[in-house]
Amino acid sequence: MPMASNDKNKQTGKNRAFVQSLGHAWDGLRALFHYERNFRKHLLVGSLAVIAGAILRLSLNEWLWLVLAIFLVLIAETLNTIVEAVVDLVVGTTYHDLAKRAKDVAAGGVLLAAIFAVIVGALVMLPALSRWF
């Protein structure tokens, strides 16, 4: 992931202010969106779930479960991206069994989060759909 050559991307020490920390966090979210296809897909599916929830007029409790599931998937994808980047940085193009295992386990974490989200979506949306019929 190429980084811009301006000075703020060359910081090596602690952040001096909360606003600076927020700026780095925002840069990270932009990088996720720009470089990670699966993050964009998860964001799209999560947005569709939110739209469906609004149409189905979910209860507060249903919203809490739905939002938890969506954010869990996005956080898992973020952690997966971190693992992949660090492993690639350390091993480069050399194949290593442990590097493959680390990447596979991180991807498995995303899969578990996605399965959880599908289960929560079904448990929340199906009863809400049945209220319409």
CB 77 within 8 A of CB 114: no
**CATH code at position 92:** 1.10.287.3610
Let me know if residue 9 belongs to a domain.
no
The answer to whether 119 touches 126, Cβ cutoff 8 Å, is no
Domain membership of residue 18 (yes or no) is no
Asked if residue 74 lies in contact with residue 126, where contact means CB atoms within 8 angstroms, the answer is no
Residue 44 within any structural domain of the chain: yes
* Residue 111 domain-assigned (yes or no): yes
**Percent of the chain having pLDDT more than 70?**
91
Residue 7 lies in a domain: no
pTM for the model stands at 0.84
Task: Tell me the pLDDT tens digit for each residue of 28-53.
Answer: 999 999 999 999 999 999 999 999 99
Size of the chain in residues? 133
Q: Which of 36, 62, 77, 84 is catalytic?
A: 77
pLDDT band at 1 (very low <50, low <70, confident <90, very high): very low
Q: Is the pLDDT of residue 121 over 50?
A: yes
Please give the tally of structural domains in the chain.
1
pLDDT tens-place string over residues 3-34: 454 555 576 677 778 888 899 899 999 999 99
What amino acid is encoded at 133 in this protein?
A: F
Q: 62 near 53, Cβ under 8 Å?
A: yes
Active site (annotated) includes residue 62: no
Residue 29 lies in a domain: no
The pLDDT mean for the chain works out to: 91
The amino acid that residue 103 corresponds to is K
Q: Which domain holds residue 101?
A: 37-132
